Amino acid sequence: MTDFIHRFEPATSAGSPPLLLLHGTGGDENDLLGLGKMISPGSALLSPRGRVLEHGMPRFFRRLSEGVFDEADVRLRAAELGDFVAEARQRYGIAAPVAVGFSNGANIAAALLLLKPDVLAGAILLRAMVPLSDPPKAVLSGKPVLLLSGQADPIVPASNSERLAALLTQAGASVTHKILPAGHQLSQADVTLARGWIGNVKARAA
């Protein structure tokens, strides 16, 4: 298997989509397990640790400075992560997952949607930014995406998250973008909205 340290927890409910949990800078494979269980009780959880270290903190790709990404590395790491998900699906017998990414994890999930759209069944992007200045023409064919931004986020400008929503919509995704009265950190509103959105995705799949 592509060399990602990870946690896997099998599903306890047959009707719940598997989740790919992607942590923020300095997190690890344990960080979002609790969030995944709150958002979609019963889902299989696949949670890798980012392979890039920034001052000892795991990330999913390199950045040159705050908000400035090493885009060649974004492309490389998205390909690696896509291969890991494909191998994990075979190993654990799961369907294409819905990504749940926070901050850096949300950015690599957005990159996956644009670069390897078949890897994910959908995505919940928490405080995401546009990952590539010149993304390929992706075909997302109605893939459901929930983008939750913070009104007072000091890291992600409102114009950037709006551009990401427009980019994914133009690629054909079914995007729900909500701006919450929050900063960069997650709030109870994120959990509530994500859980309701996953419920709708499950209902449509059924």
| DSSP collapsed to 3 states, 68-129 | EECHHHHHHHHHHHHHHHHHHHHHHCCCCCEEEEECHHHHHHHHHHHHCCCCCCEEEEECCC
Q: Which residues contact 118 (CB under 8 A, 6 or more apart)?
A: 96
**Residues with active-site annotation:** 103, 153, 184
Q: What is the DSSP string of 133-183?
A: SS------TT-EEEEEEETT-SSS-HHHHHHHHHHHHHTT-EEEEEEES--
Give Cα 138 distance to the centre of its chain. 16
Backbone angles phi, psi at 182, to 5 degrees: -150, 170
